[in-house]
Amino acid sequence: MNIDKNQIAEHNQQLMAAHQRRLSQVIDYLPNAVNIVQKLVDFQVAIPSWALGTGGTRFGRFSGGGEPRNLEEKIADIGILHALNRSSGAISLHIPWDIPKDYAAIRALAEEHGLAFDAMNSNTFQDQPDQALSYKFGSMQHVDKAVRRQAVEHNIEVIKHGVELGSKSLTVWLADGSSFPGQLNFRKAFQNTLESLQEVYEALPDDWKMFVEYKAFEPNFYSTTVGDWGQSLLYASKLGEKAYTLVDLGHHLPNANIEQIVALLLMEGKLGGFHFNDSKYGDDDLTTGSIKPYQLFLIFSELVEGMDARGMEHAKDLGWMIDASHNLKDPLEDLLQSVEAILIAYAQALLVDRAALQQAQAANDVVRAQEVLQEAFRTDVRPLVAEARLRAGAALNPIQLFRQQDIRGKLIRERGTKTVATGL
């Protein structure tokens, strides 16, 4: 199912007059705002291959129909998103949920849709049917060397798949940890994990990065072996210059100051990638920006400031990905909403008057500092984000077009109502 360029052009034509009115209001008020549009055009957010189906909870899963049945259909779904917003130009694969069978064909299909291969993700948090040893008590931390070896080999295999596809990074998220006091020797668990990660690191091509993702809880609830940014940074520092910390917004203890974490990781040159989502309680995996949009803005504000301080390229030097789950909404609509929220926060962060903020900080003018940040946060940047889409050849209102074209209905007719995508 492809979206025709004419459908986009026609849709944009219908909305053009209203769009131009709204855009000129922003530009009247902020004449320099138009300078950020190209940055918004360049910014791409990868879509994970496991987020295209209906997400479940441990209590149930309510499929919406038309879910992609294989990797080819997942690529087609991301192709639809990218055609609609031109900001979702990459796919992140989870192995073994999405093992590519024919590399050349998969590469060609992705290219047809204008998609690159973002980070590869390994999976040692589930047992596979043909697997010799169980990960019930962990993978890279395991007391049994043979289990650790199996986890290392899996990661090396994931790198090999990625090399064939043109990916440049590996994300390792470990469910390792313990659920009861006394279950683990923390020091030994750390050392086993480090040793295993070192073996994987050895197999990493020179131009690749390794992202060590941390998470404070779940599925283990007493301790996690890569539990927070400090532990991740410890592993990444010991591993070497190709290893970085990956921040998933849902992986912190409640009320953690994620923007400060981001600022310090960037300062150390050790922030590698991002998983976007939103949450109220735990790793809720809700639509980005749906619960705490101000926090998202503050994080982006630190990202922009910290990346600029190091002369980094916003669009390319960090891995940007959505990592969410969709229990209630159509996954494609939900992803469109997340990408929009990310671009809005990024645009607002670009509008922060950095000189004024620095002055306020130097003068301990707390009120002024807040005013500067909130001035940017309260600016309605949606016309700028829409203008970026227009310039990139995307739809002014992606969700409206998705619905007008009855894309979900077409996918259901093509694939059926009872299809189930691989993933969680």
Residue 252 sits in the site that holds ligand PSV (CB under 6 A)? no
Residue 213 sits in the site that holds ligand PSV (CB under 6 A)? yes
Write the binding mask 319 to 338 for Mn ion: x where contact by CB under 5 A, - elsewhere.
Answer: ----x---------------
Distance CA 63, CA 60 (A): 10
Least Cβ distance, residue 256 to Mn ion (angstroms): 15
Least Cβ distance, residue 219 to Mn ion (angstroms): 14
Question: Which among Mn ion, ligand PSV, none contacts residue 121 (Cβ within 5 to 8 A by kind)?
Answer: ligand PSV
Residue 248 sits in the site that holds Mn ion (CB under 5 A)? yes
Least Cβ distance, residue 323 to ligand PSV (angstroms): 5
Q: Which two tokens stand for residue 228?
A: 């927070």
Residue 252 sits in the site that holds Mn ion (CB under 5 A)? no
Find the helix or strand (DSSP H, E) in which 248 lies.
Answer: strand 243-248
Q: 314 near 274, Cβ under 8 Å?
A: no
Least Cβ distance, residue 132 to Mn ion (angstroms): 27
Q: 306 near 266, Cβ under 8 Å?
A: yes
Question: Which among Mn ion, ligand PSV, none contacts residue 113 (Cβ within 5 to 8 A by kind)?
Answer: none
Residue 424 sits in the site that holds ligand PSV (CB under 6 A)? yes
For ligand PSV, which is the closer residue by CB, 213 or 259? 213
Torsion angle in degrees (nearest 10) through CA of 282, 75, 344, 27: 180
Near ligand PSV by CB under 6 A: residue from 117, 135, 173, 276: 173
Least Cβ distance, residue 51 to Mn ion (angstroms): 10
Least Cβ distance, residue 330 to Mn ion (angstroms): 21
For ligand PSV, which is the closer residue by CB, 176 or 387? 176
Q: Which two tokens stand for residue 120?
A: 């590869």
The CA-atom distances, in angstroms, between 154 and each of 96, 117, 158, 274, 328 are: 9, 19, 6, 23, 33
Site for ligand PSV in 271-290 (CB under 6 A): 275, 283
Near ligand PSV by CB under 6 A: residue from 85, 121, 287, 338: 121
Give the list of residues 6+ apart from residue 95 with CB closer than 8 angstroms, or none. 120, 121, 122, 123, 154, 157, 158, 161
Please count the CA atoms within 13 angstroms of the CA of 99 that sit on its side-chain side: 8
Find the helix or strand (DSSP H, E) in which 22 lies.
Answer: helix 5-29
Distance CA 221, CA 390 (A): 46
List residues near ligand PSV by CB under 6 A.
50, 121, 173, 213, 215, 248, 275, 283, 323, 424
